[in-house]
Amino acid sequence: MTTEPALPPPGTAPAPAEPPRPHAAPAEPPAAETPAAESPFAAPQFTTEPPSDAPTPELLPPAPERAPRAPRRPRPVLLAVSGLVLGTLVGGGVGYAVQAQRPPTPLPPIQVARPSYPAVAVDPTAYAAQQPKPLAIDGDLRKLLIGAPDGSTAWGEFPDKPSWVSVGELAEYSDSAVRDFKDLNSRGFRRAAEVDWKKGDARYRVSLVQYAPDHADEAATHAVGTTRNLKPFADGANGANGANGGYRVDEEPRYWADSADRYYYGQAVAQRGTVAMVVEVFDSKPVNPDVVKDLAKQQWERLV
């Protein structure tokens, strides 16, 4: 046995010698894997590589190429709107062209009636009779009131001389002051005047209440609207009668407000134009009708 290499047989080309391989860098030793601390909240590890034992998914064939879409047809609504707009424009243009070719039409002249005057002079008497009648009573109502008689005294805080009174003071004389206050203001109340006095145990009040010119009917309502069983206190054309006034006396006594004291009541009312006349008597004994009639006559004579 020898250690020399065997020689190639004669006639055979020697094999080219293999170039020397470079020395590879020594491989780094694998890092020791440190077991991570197990956490109850650690997320599971996912991998994109399928497991070795998973079946290979079958690949779907590529979809065939789609043909290009045909152009969309115009919608019916769009066509209708376009037709309406185009028709309006074309119609307006044609109408304007036709109207522009026509000659202008002249307007008719303005017809105004000329003022006419009577051929004869107007009768002053007939013309005055056609005019609205003046108010039956106008001016200072205090001058139309009668005065307190001799020997009389003032009745509390009431005026013992003819004086103006407000609508509030007038409404306080009734049991329903709030209601009467509203009624007077809503029914054309204009003004009022009165005079009060006391003589012996009897108390007297005479008042004139005037309404607006267009509320003359309210004066009649104020005078006789709520009064029944009236007797005339004067005769003649200028006297009061059952139609526009009268008088009455109560046989039963009444009670003063918030008091146990009693009194007897007498009243006389009348209406002239827009003025309502009211005469009142309060006495501790039954009222004498002649006293009421006499006061009513005196006051009525100042109004006629």
Radius of gyration of the chain (CA): 62
Q: What is the mean pLDDT of residues 127-141?
A: 79
pLDDT at 21: 53
3-state secondary structure of 281: strand
Q: Cα angle at 160 between 142 and 174, to 5 degrees? A: 85
pLDDT at 61: 65
Q: How confident is the model at residue 243 (pLDDT cuts 50, 70, 90)?
A: very low
Using one digit for the tens of pLDDT, what is the confidence trace for 245-279? Answer: 899 999 999 988 777 789 999 999 998 889 999 99
pLDDT at 48: 52
Range scoring the smallest mean pLDDT among 26-30, 158-162, 216-220: 26-30
- The Cβ-side half-sphere exposure at 38, using a 13 Å CA radius, reads 1
Q: Does the pLDDT value for residue 100 go beyond 90?
A: no
Q: What is the mean pLDDT of residues 163-188?
A: 88
pLDDT at 239: 45
pLDDT at 70: 63
Structural tokens at position 38: 């197990």
Q: Does the pLDDT value for residue 180 go beyond 50?
A: yes
Using one digit for the tens of pLDDT, what is the confidence trace for 27-72? Answer: 455 544 444 444 444 445 545 555 555 555 556 666 666 666 666 6
Q: What is the mean pLDDT of residues 119-129?
A: 81
pLDDT at 37: 46
Q: What is the mean pLDDT of residues 164-171?
A: 91
Cα-flanking dihedrals φ and ψ of residue 141, to 5°?
-65, -25
Q: What is the pTM of this model?
A: 0.55
Q: Residue 283: which residues within 8 A CB-CB, separation 6 or more?
A: 201, 202, 203, 263, 264, 266
pLDDT at 242: 41
pLDDT at 237: 38
Average pLDDT of every residue of the chain: 78
- What is the distance between the alpha carbons of residues 194 and 161, in angstroms, rounded to a whole number? 8
pLDDT at 144: 94
